[in-house]
Structure 1
Amino acid sequence: MTQTVPGRSKEVVQVLPGLLLAMTLAMLDNMIVGTAMPRIVSELGGLEYFTWVTTSYVLGTTVSTPIWGKLGDLYGRKGVFLTSVLIFIVGSALCGMAGSDLLGGPEGGMAQLIAFRAVQGIGGGGLLVGVVAIIGDLVPPRQRGQYQGIMAGVMSLSMIAGPLVGGFITDNADWRWAFYINLPLGGASLIWCYLRLRLPKHRTDHRIDWPGAIVITIGITALVLIATWGGQEHGYPWGSWQILSLAALAVVSLAVFIPIERRAAEPILPLHVFADRNFTLMSVVGVFLGFALFGAIAFVPIYQQLVQGATATNSGLLLLPMMLSSTVVSVVVGLAVTKTGRYRRYPIIGGLVMMAGLWLLSLQDAATPKWQTGVFIAVLGAGIGFLMQTTVVIAQNSVDPKDMGVASSTATFFRSIGGSFGISIFGAIFNSRLTANLTERFGPQAAEMLGQSSTLHMRSASAGSIPAQVKAGFVESLADAIASVFAWSLLFAVVVPLASAFVKHVPLRTGLGHGGAAEPEKVPAAAE
């Protein structure tokens, strides 16, 4: 029998703190660790491998995301979600112990940390997917916007708090507490959700598509490695045999994956969900949203620190306008979707506003004041607010309730893949433009020397090591290179409103529909 909102709204409110705490853990982790990395490298060594501390986490998260979604659909969301929280906690504890006397001392500590970060990433892959899918189980699409607006606000605040908490821990305690802090927070989320979470019961055949899981893991690993290594200073050229081999492996995996999924009784990624136009369009939007947004936004702190002279901690505070505008718009849009049942216009508006923000950021130069950058990123944040949760609601409303986990994990997966490639490709664009600018100003030899002071992982102190007589030219070259990244990102951002314009308004369900047909809202769609 279809359940309605009034019967479950109290349960949603009761379990929401535990779910939001789990989401906070997933969002905080990378921000905190990034701030602590210099201290980690100084103690454990392995400078040439330090990027793998991030890569292994991203790899574990991305690979496990579709698998967590499907496991939740098969075995029930609660047990699978609690398992992911537990794995994240164990991975965090092991990361904090890496290179300690308990595990043999600093020698080999970096290799341990990389391996343990992969474990942590596997758990992290289930956190965000689990939270979104659980909300989908408890709340019909018509009512879901208001809760996902709250979730978007928590995500934004976590992104701000991450660098601040990481900086405080690094300056005032052992770097290991950047990982140990997850233990009490994760434990609280685990206990809260175990005691409070009550989900609708529904039966499915428990058959794991192991061939599909293995093949998609191989393919995703190849894609993530291409995005991580391609064109990077510590990676390989785009035309190298390593990158071409990984590309071939990804293509072969996809070619093998499709027939496997067609034959599987319970496929990891049911291909029939892509038969729905709205679901496919939101998947495309997710890729280009991640591509244009996360790829470009990685350069805002670099601009604030090296061009505008902000400290690492202050650059986190300077992102407040973007996070606040994103939070406010997300909440307002969520309430509007809940009240009216209308959603089609918001991804289109969001795509256009995001493009406006990226265009404004592309106009910046070395003389742009901080307040003006704040206005520009606030516009970008508003675009994010229109898009982030609305796209998930549309994707979830496009599938049967039994595929809720797949819809949630697919939305997260495509955005993650787009972001990974965005960072890689925009990094190559940035390095190429910076090298050209420096060569034009100072000549090839000076450009090579100055270029060594500037990578995607540069710190604010880097510019201070440059002689004063060339610093102005260096900063101008740097500002122009970063502006070019935002200009290029516009080409990818155009796809977001264009794809969204083809979304068909399908009435949002007002029932959960676990026991039968989903109940659509009883309002006409003509106004859309």
Structure 2
Amino acid sequence: MSELASESLDTGSKTIATPERSGGGAMTHREILEALSGLLLVLFVAMASSTIVSTALPKIIGDLGGTQTQYTWVVTATLLTATASTPIWGKLSDLYSKKLLVQVSIIIFILGSLIAGFTQNTEQLIAARAFQGLGMGGVQALVQVAIAAMIPPRERGRYNGYLGGVMALATVGGPLLGGLIVDTDALGWRWCFFIGAPFAVIALFVLQKTLHLPVLRRDDVKIDYLGASLIAAGVSIILIWVSFVDDAFGWFSWQTAAMVGGGLVLLALAVWVESRVAEPVVPLPIVRERTTALAIIGSLAVGMAMFGGSVFLGQYFQIGRGYSPTEAGLLMIPMMGGVLVSSTLAGRAITKSGRIKPYVVAGTITLVAGFAGLSFLDHDTSLWYIGTSMAVVGVGVGMSMQNLVLAVQNTVSLRDIGAASATVAFFRSLGGTIGVSVLGAVLARHVATSTTEQLTAMGVPADTAAGGSGTLDIASLPEAFQHVVRIAYGDATGHIFLISAGVAVIGVIAAIAMKPTMLRSTVDIKPSPEKVSAE
């Protein structure tokens, strides 16, 4: 057995506690980097799997004969299962081996990737992506937890620069790689799913060799599967309602009453369960703490704006502007470059000053400005203007997203770090899930209305016009139809970014309301009473 190190490293005017290596003694910077290597590799694979698909998805859905609603649900299904499973992964990491859980989540991710690559229709693809989301949720939550278990908050900003670099590389390289795969006849879009599997296998072995974390041994543990299931069911029902309202049924209908009412009842039951179980997946005492509550609000807003907006940029470039998947990937670089630069610089500045609030406030304000710029998009907006606005969005994301998690981690003890980190990640993913679903529904309505009106004005029968507005296989449409659909998509995209900007304002308000605090220089607030053993 080993305790978290009480030793420290003298760094001049300040003393910084560091975790022990498995054999005793403080971990050096090199050892921390070695441990981070596997974590960053698997995070890269998980994030790249999403960004690779982002530019390929218009082609995938077109080949499978899918609709705009199904396009949205390929993304939503992944986010939804990742969201629902994140609190469970986080709670398990407070109780069991963090390394083993990371490895289990990687295996689930690999299986989901392989299944998705062999799907034959959109329904199968949505189901496969939902399964893959279970693994992605574990990876994204547990990487944050493992880093928090190794590195004090004050020093974490320095390492967040590496984290931001990996995220930026995945988000810059992913869309470009996805475009190249789709445009290469020898590969095809199925390799967008297959390509991540071998790298994930490598990550398994790297983690086995390099990652060594303390394991808290706790007795009489119970996981709140009921609460997690109620949350997932409640959110799913409401998102299904968002996807079909005003299309399959009206706003004021028995279906709306049943789905909205049922979803809210399930969520209310989830809160009731969480307030009474011994080990809730979303610990209400942590959620009620001021910094955590505001960070959750901020993460909801940032997740809703960022995921909801950026998911449709690849679609805008390909369908609205007619660019190839590879070209769409290249056009996404300004946003990802903004994430890389801002996350690295902000991380180092936070480590130096120990203050986090100014950077979160600046990041959320920048995010609003970027989305406000993108709200003016139409089918012939200058690419220079689009690139500049995307870069501003990227800067805002890089300064705010990871630092909202760091602000929460600074307020809780090591034994609760998994639950706290996963709670913030949960609400951020929930915001993204809601954002993708709602904005996708808004986009579909605008496109359908605009396309039908224009085609009807050209003398096309209403039923034929309505059918043409629903397909994403643009190449199969007559040339006149293609032109109308591209204009409709190009002009409708600005509306969803305007909504994103409005939602992001909530994040600004939450960031301003956060209490200014200095990041602590120790891994734990105080020594944990639990027994600790090394993995």
Please, what TM-score do these two structures have when normalized by structure 1? 0.85
CA distance in 2, matches of 1:110, 1:430: 19
| CA distance 1:44–1:489, change in 2 (3 Å) | closer
Output aligned runs, 1:253-272, within 5 Å: 253-272=266-285
Give, in angstroms, the shift of residue 315 of structure 1.
Answer: 0.9
Give, in angstroms, the shift of residue 405 of structure 1.
Answer: 1.1
Within the alignment, does 1:127 sit opposite 2:147 as a pair? no
Q: Which residue of 1 aligns with 2:100?
A: 79
Please, what TM-score do these two structures have when normalized by structure 2? 0.84
Q: Which residue of 2 aligns with 1:207?
A: 221
- Aligned match of 1:88 in 91, 109, 116? 109
Deviations 1:210-258 (A, max 9, x none): xx32232232233134325524498765555455434333322332223
One-letter amino acid matched to 2:495 = S
Q: Which residue of 2 aligns with 1:487?
A: 498
| CA distance 1:460–1:305, change in 2 (3 Å) | farther
8 Å contact kept, 1:230–1:236: no
8 Å contact kept, 1:304–1:310: yes
Q: Which residue of 2 aligns with 1:427?
A: 440
One-letter amino acid matched to 1:393 = L
| CA distance 1:131–1:264, change in 2 (3 Å) | same
Within the alignment, does 1:335 sit opposite 2:358 as a pair? no
RMSD: 3.3
SS of structure 2 residue aligned to 1:466 = helix
SS of structure 2 residue aligned to 1:128 = helix
One-letter amino acid matched to 2:391 = A
SS of structure 1 residue aligned to 2:214 = coil
One-letter amino acid matched to 2:499 = W
CA distance in 2, matches of 1:345, 1:448: 54
Count of residue pairs the alignment pairs up: 503
Within the alignment, does 1:161 sit opposite 2:173 as a pair? yes
Deviations 1:437-484 (A, max 9, x none): 5577665775875564455x836647873258xx4x765554432222
| CA distance 1:499–1:50, change in 2 (3 Å) | closer
Within the alignment, does 1:290 sit opposite 2:303 as a pair? yes
Give, in angstroms, the shift of residue 185 of structure 1.
Answer: 0.9
Output aligned runs, 1:130-279, within 5 Å: 130-170=142-182, 171=184, 172-173=186-187, 175-209=189-223, 212-228=224-240, 230-232=242-244, 238-239=251-252, 241-279=254-292
| CA distance 1:222–1:350, change in 2 (3 Å) | same
CA distance in 1, matches of 2:313, 2:138: 29
CA distance in 2, matches of 1:432, 1:111: 21
CA distance in 2, matches of 1:26, 1:411: 19
- Aligned match of 1:346 in 359, 382, 386? 359
Give, in angstroms, the shift of residue 383 of structure 1.
Answer: 1.0
SS of structure 1 residue aligned to 2:515 = coil
Moved more, 27-36 or 506-515: 27-36
8 Å contact kept, 1:215–1:253: no
Q: Which residue of 2 aligns with 1:22?
A: 42
Q: Which residue of 2 aligns with 1:281?
A: 294
Give, in angstroms, the shift of residue 81 of structure 1.
Answer: 1.4
Give, in angstroms, the shift of residue 388 of structure 1.
Answer: 1.3
SS of structure 2 residue aligned to 1:205 = coil
Q: Which residue of 2 aligns with 1:522?
A: none
Per chain length, whose mean CA-contact separation is higher, i.e. which structure has more relative contact order (CA < 8 Å, sep 6+)?
Answer: 2
SS of structure 2 residue aligned to 1:494 = helix
8 Å contact kept, 1:326–1:384: yes
Q: Which residue of 1 aligns with 2:31?
A: 11
Within the alignment, does 1:497 sit opposite 2:508 as a pair? yes
Q: Which residue of 1 aligns with 2:14?
A: none
Deviations 1:3-35 (A, max 9, x none): 413823333200222111111121122343456
8 Å contact kept, 1:69–1:129: yes
CA distance in 1, matches of 2:451, 2:38: 50
8 Å contact kept, 2:340–2:398: yes
Give, in angstroms, the shift of residue 182 of structure 1.
Answer: 2.9
| CA distance 1:232–1:30, change in 2 (3 Å) | farther
Deviations 1:141-185 (A, max 9, x none): 111112223222322321232233334444322654433333321
One-letter amino acid matched to 1:186 = A
CA distance in 1, matches of 2:136, 2:488: 38
| CA distance 1:214–1:263, change in 2 (3 Å) | closer
8 Å contact kept, 1:308–1:370: no
Within the alignment, does 1:365 sit opposite 2:378 as a pair? yes
Q: Which residue of 2 aligns with 1:387?
A: 400
One-letter amino acid matched to 1:143 = E
Give, in angstroms, the shift of residue 338 of structure 1.
Answer: 0.6
CA distance in 2, matches of 1:41, 1:319: 20
Identity %: 35
8 Å contact kept, 2:76–2:437: no
Give, in angstroms, the shift of residue 436 of structure 1.
Answer: 5.3
- Aligned match of 1:513 in 524, 527, 534? 524
8 Å contact kept, 1:133–1:404: yes
SS of structure 1 residue aligned to 2:217 = coil
CA distance in 1, matches of 2:332, 2:521: 37
